Each structure stands twice: as C-alpha cells, then as structure tokens.
C-alpha cells in the first residue's frame, strides 16, 4: 500500500473524524479509503449483496473444511488440466 499526504477542508476532516469516533471505521485512513472507493468505483460488493465480510469468511471457511474432509475421505478426484 502506498502512503499519500493529502489536505482536506475542515468540514470534511471533521466529518471523517466523526465517522472514526463513532466506531464505523478503525482509523482515518480506512474511512478515506472507503469513501474514495465508493465515490470512484461504487458500493462494495458486500453492500451490493447485503452481507458482511465476516459472513463471507465464515461461509468460505465452512466450504474449505468440507473440501478438506472430502479430500481426507478420498471422495474427491484429483484435478488434471486438459492438454
């Protein structure tokens, strides 16, 4: 990740600090990164699908555990690319 020094107007700076203080963001950098992402790229995929990152991680961990169990029980065939 790159470091950037920026200057914000006082009202904008206060608004970002209020968001950090409310606990919505861990720090000032995270708040600005989220704001920039939403402005330039649109809402995050998590918001679009109405899930949290924790829910996605939990689901992925569950799927990976299922794959590990199936591998251990030799229920999965090894994957070989076509030539």
- The pLDDT value given to residue 48: 78
For residues 31 and 3, give the distance between their C-alpha atoms in angstroms, rounded to a whole number. 15
Domain count, the chain: 2
**36 and 18 both lie in a single domain:** yes
For residues 5 and 33, give the distance between their C-alpha atoms in angstroms, rounded to a whole number. 13
Give 17-73 pLDDT, tens digit per residue: 998 999 988 899 989 988 888 888 887 778 778 888 899 999 999 999 999 999 999
Find, among 58, 60, 54, 80, the residue nearest to 68 by Cα.
Answer: 60
What residue numbers bound the domain in which 33 lies?
Answer: 8-42
Collect all residues with Cβ–Cβ distance below 8 Å to 73 and sequence separation of at least 6.
none
**27 and 48 both lie in a single domain:** no
């Amino acid at each position: 990740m790159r470091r950037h020094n920026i200057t914000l107007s006082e009202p904008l700076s206060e608004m970002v600090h209020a968001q950090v203080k409310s606990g919505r963001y861990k720090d000032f950098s995270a708040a600005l990164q989220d704001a920039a992402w939403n402005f330039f790229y649109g809402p995050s995929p998590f918001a679009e699908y109405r899930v949290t990152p924790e829910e996605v991680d939990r689901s992925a961990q569950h799927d990976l555990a299922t794959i590990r169990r199936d591998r251990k029980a030799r229920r999965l065939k090894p994957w070989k690319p076509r030539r």
